[in-house]
């Protein structure tokens, strides 16, 4: 994905609908799409990077789109929101707009209309896609491959260290096997001792200045691999 491709966050708990919508947005709309199935996952994605548009289902397993949208606006998040829902009564539509959504589309939707509305909202946002990750006050610029501490100091990482950190941050809170990390960072065709990962994790901790008071931790999962844990701001 290049920085010219608008990034969308799709928040939808229906697996079939979510996968179909993602395929259409990527293949016909040309967008880069990340998926969330609930409010918690949506929060995790929003904490990692910026998006040009959020497509938000109203009814979610751990909350509702109205409440999430309102909370984002109260927190100063200005990313446009397009609500997708089967609830199309006037009161529901008004509630969606009052919560801070820019548009509201009822299910089942017509694909051409959906793509047109998405395109209009992305253009209206006027925001250049930001290709970066954030965690515990640190900032990662994926285009320039630079990392800054919460204090603004640069962290010098090798190419592999940078790729490893980006992978850990993207997959935060998930237990990652060593072979899974090797495939993602070093490549499937590269033969590397699995314990090479241990050395790189140790180097990352040192360069990032990790200590017991840090708001993040790269936890060792004995016999398996690692898990990146990040304290909420």
Instruction: Using the predicted structure, report yes or no on whether residue 91 has a pLDDT greater than 90.
Output: no
* Structure confidence at residue 232 as a pLDDT band (50, 70, 90): low
Tell me phi and psi for residue 87, to 5 degrees: -85, 100
A 10 A CB-CB count for 119 gives: 15
Rounded to an integer, what distance in angstroms lies between the CA atom of residue 117 and that of residue 133? 27
Give me 212's structure tokens: 């017991």
Kind plus residue range of the DSSP H or E element containing 32: strand 32-36
Strand partners, 84: 57, 105
* Structure confidence at residue 3 as a pLDDT band (50, 70, 90): very low
- Give the tens place of pLDDT for each residue, 205-226: 999 999 999 999 999 999 999 9
**What average pLDDT does the segment 50-66 reach?**
92
Instruction: Using the predicted structure, report yes or no on whether residue 118 has a pLDDT greater than 90.
Output: yes
Instruction: Using the predicted structure, report yes or no on whether residue 130 has a pLDDT greater than 50.
Output: no
The predicted pLDDT at position 205 comes to: 96
**What average pLDDT does the segment 4-15 reach?**
89
Instruction: Using the predicted structure, report yes or no on whether residue 231 has a pLDDT greater than 90.
Output: no
What is the residue-averaged pLDDT of the chain? 87
Rounded to an integer, what distance in angstroms lies between the CA atom of residue 11 and that of residue 205? 33
The predicted pLDDT at position 2 comes to: 38
Instruction: Using the predicted structure, report yes or no on whether residue 99 has a pLDDT greater than 70.
Output: yes
Among the listed ranges 15-19, 126-130, 150-154, which one has the minimum average pLDDT value?
Answer: 126-130
């Amino acid at each position: 994905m290049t920085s010219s491709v608008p990034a969308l966050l799709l928040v939808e708990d229906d697996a079939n609908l979510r996968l179909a919508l993602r395929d259409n947005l990527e293949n016909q709309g040309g967008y880069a799409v990340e998926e969330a199935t609930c409010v918690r996952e949506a929060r995790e994605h929003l904490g990692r990077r910026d998006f040009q548009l959020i497509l938000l289902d109203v009814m979610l397993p751990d909350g509702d789109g109205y409440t999430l949208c309102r909370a984002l606006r109260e927190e100063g998040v200005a990313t446009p929101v397009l609500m997708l829902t089967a609830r199309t009564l006037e009161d529901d539509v008004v509630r969606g707009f009052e919560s801070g959504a820019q548009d509201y589309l009822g299910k089942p939707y017509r694909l051409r209309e959906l793509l047109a509305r998405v395109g209009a909202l992305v253009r209206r946002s006027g925001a250049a896609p930001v290709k970066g990750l954030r965690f515990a006050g640190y900032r990662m610029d994926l285009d320039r491959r630079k990392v800054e501490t919460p204090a603004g100091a640069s962290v010098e990482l090798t190419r592999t260290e940078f790729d490893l950190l980006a992978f850990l941050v993207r997959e935060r809170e998930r237990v990652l096997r060593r072979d899974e990390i090797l495939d993602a960072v070093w490549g499937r065709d590269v033969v590397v001792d699995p314990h090479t990962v241990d050395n790189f994790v140790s180097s990352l901790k040192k360069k990032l200045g990790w200590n017991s008071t840090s708001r993040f931790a790269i936890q060792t999962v004995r016999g398996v691999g690692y898990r990146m844990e990040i304290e909420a701001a």
